[in-house]
Amino acid sequence: MTWLLAVQAGAALYMTGVIWMCQIAHYPLFAEVGDGMPAYQRRNRVRTTYVVGPAMLAELVAAAVLLVSRPEAIPAWAAWLGIALVAIAWGVTILLSVPAHERLSARYDAAALARLVRTNWIRTAAWTGHGALALWMLVVAA
């Protein structure tokens, strides 16, 4: 079961790095794109999916499996907190981030971009928290 904890920690820490890069550099730089935003955004969404899709899926599956099959050293609350943090990240992605990206795919919209940057802090906090928790679980179970 340690391998599953390693998968979860690896995926969560990978996503933590990606989300901080998006929060601090990538999303704020969208403002520099201007009128080319729709074409840029469409290409960005496809390429970003290749970068984050596998890690997000691996993190979700690992966190879900740990709910039903976890090492004895891992308390139940940790597994539940882990899946809750993943659910927050996914929920914000689906409910807030994707609509903002869709809006930006249609045209440059300063309000949509500001909303994307502002609400992305929720994902940043969730992935950072899950990364730390997943690393803790890996250490505790070792």
Encode pLDDT of 88-129 as tens digits.
Answer: 999 999 999 999 999 999 999 999 999 999 999 999 999 999
Using CA atoms, how far residue 11 sits from 6, 58, 86, in Å, is 8, 6, 11
What are the tokens at 90?
């996914």
pLDDT at 93: 97
pLDDT at 107: 92
Model pTM score: 0.94
The confidence band for 142, taking pLDDT boundaries of 50, 70 and 90, is confident
pLDDT at 35: 87
Find the mean pLDDT for residues 9-20: 98
Of the candidates 53, 57, 77, the residue with the CA atom closest to the CA atom of residue 66: 77
The confidence band for 73, taking pLDDT boundaries of 50, 70 and 90, is very high
Q: For the chain, what is the mean pLDDT?
A: 96
